[in-house]
Amino acid sequence: MTQTQPQLDVHLANRREIEGQLPGSTDWVSDLRRRGLETYEEEGWPTQDEEAWKYTSLQAARETEYASPLTLDEADVSREDLAEFTFDATTAQLVFVNGRYRADLSNLDAVPEAATVRPLADVLDEDPGRVRGLLGEYAEPEDEPLTGLNTANFADGAYVEVPETEVVEAPIHVLYLTTDVGEPIAVHPRTLIVAHESSQVPVVETYAGLDDVEAFTNAVTEVFTAKNATVDHVKLNRESPETIHVGTQEFEQDRDSVVRSNTVTFGSKLTRNNVYDMLVGEGIDANLNGLYMGTDDQHIDNYTRIRHDEPHGDSHQLYKGILDDSSRGVFRGTIFVSPGAQKTDGYQHNPNMIVSEDALANSVPQLEIFADDVKCSHGSTTGDVDDKWIFYLRSRGLSEDQARDLIVYSFAGEVVEDITIEPARDTVRELVLDNLDHGDAVRDAL
């Protein structure tokens, strides 16, 4: 894209305003940010002319006059305000409100000693060497313009690092919250997760909005899973219905590592999840599932790309969509298999359940295979709730609404019940039920 940016791109203008406040004045960090800025300036805003954005227009996020919350006062948020988004009090938790870390709302006491869980801004200011060669390494500034923009503008985010052989059992929760400050705001949260050799860590990222905040969230998460390490990860979108959310997750996995990730979307009026995984060693296991539940006129786009570079890699993607009202779901996924990646086992499936006549699903699963000894399958299905199912259940005494909701709930169940992080699984299950018209009737039967 060589389109010229309008004179006053709001995100560049924001950057100019907050530049002095951004953490990380070391050369390499400045350099990283500069590369991000250049990418953004050169490549410009994504448009629907690009294949990757064919079904999703991000124009609104370009045209809205977002302010950077760093120029505003700290939001008045209490623990009670967060309660609906948090897990129990013993959970290690990092909370960011409108882009800023909030020690008063976080709970770092619960972090296991061996692990490092800190705001990234602190690390960049106090000990930047710690993340050198990691930050911006997996989600490179040049990867795409919005990753560039995040790299240029991010104010803070979570840094999670687990040393060799250390096993963290309880999940670490990172909560990125936006609140209504009277005008639209743009935030660029940045998360870096590093699991060293043979370590294990579960991390949940929740993106949430209070009130009907009108926000633009441009999040980037990079996750490095070293040899034989395991990362469980859930990204949960509970943004406000006025928010536009673009989230890019870039995983890189070394040999024999395991990633089990779920990208779950309930919130935002417009969501784009980019989920990328580079399998750069042998014997890798990548389980990248997703669930999205659209209501009203929500638009939810999941864009995945799994790249197998070495032999004996297993990747499994199950993205399930439930689309109600006039919502729209988009899934575009690619399994890429390099010539050397023999014995790859790749699976990608995108079933959609259309609950309302006005809802719509687009699905484009893709294989790009350059090795000859692989097993890859992909597919998608789109269907509504079958009348035969409804009649069967009604003939047993369920009301039509109960029957419908039980079917939808159960459809989601295949993804929900496979979420490996228990409190996240419980939360997602509850959110599915909350989103059903007669969820209580189903809840009673569970």
Taking the complex as a whole, the smallest distance from the CB of residue 331 to another protein amounts, in Å, to 19
Closest by Cα among 353, 341, 371, 320 to 277:
341
Q: Which is nearer to another protein, 234 or 406 (CB)?
A: 406
CB of 354 to another protein, least distance (A): 15
**Residues contacting residue 446 through CB under 8 Å, at least 6 positions apart:** none
The least distance separating another protein from the CB of residue 436, rounded to whole angstroms, comes to 13
Closer residue to another protein (CB): 117 or 442: 442
Alpha helices, H only, 114-159? 120-126, 145-153
218 by DSSP, 3-state: which? strand
Residue 326 DSSP symbol? T
Quote the CA–CA distance of 61 and 401 in Å, as a whole number. 37
- Please report the sign of the dihedral spanned by the C-alpha atoms of residue 247, residue 141, residue 53, residue 231: negative
In sequence order, what are the residues at sequence separation of 6 or more whose Cβ sits closer than 8 angstroms to the Cβ of residue 298? 241, 268, 269, 270, 271, 327, 328
Of 17 and 400, the one with the shorter C-beta distance to another protein is 400
CB-nearer residue toward another protein: 60 or 445: 445
By the criterion CB under 8 A, which residues form the site for another protein?
386-389, 391-400, 402, 406-407, 410-411, 413-414, 441-442, 444-446
Measured over all CA atoms, what is the biggest interatomic distance in the chain, rounded to whole angstroms?
70
Of residues 121 and 398, the one with the C-beta less far from another protein: 398
Rounded least distance, CB 414 to another protein, Å = 6
Residue closer to another protein, measured from CB, 65 or 386: 386
Minimal distance, residue 438 CB to another protein, in Å: 11
- The two tokens of residue 314 are 């297993």
Which residue's CB is nearer to another protein, number 183 or number 426?
426
How far, in Å, CA of 440 to CA of 433, rounded? 7
Q: Which is nearer to another protein, 195 or 408 (CB)?
A: 408
Min CB(403)–another protein separation in Å:
8
Residue type, 4: T
Q: Find the shortest distance in angstroms from Cβ 384 to another protein.
A: 13
Q: Is 169 helix (H, G, I), strand (E, B) or coil?
A: coil
Are 335 and 376 a contacting pair, CB within 8 Å? yes
297: tokens are 């006129």
Provide the minimum distance between the beta carbon of 410 and another protein in the complex, in angstroms, as a whole number. 4
Residue 272 or 320 having the CB closest to another protein? 320
Task: Name the amino acid, one letter, at 221.
Answer: T
Helix locations, 64-119, DSSP H: 79-82
The residue (of 110 and 441) whose beta carbon lies closer to another protein is 441
Contact at 8 Å (CB) between 232 and 420?
A: yes
Exposure string of 108-141, with b = 16+ CB inside 10 Å and e = fewer, is eebbbeebbbbbbbebbeeebebbeeebbbbbbb
Strand partners, 288: 261
Cβ proximity of 255 and 226 under 8 Å: no
CB of 428 to another protein, least distance (A): 15
- Least Å distance, CB 165 to another protein, is 36
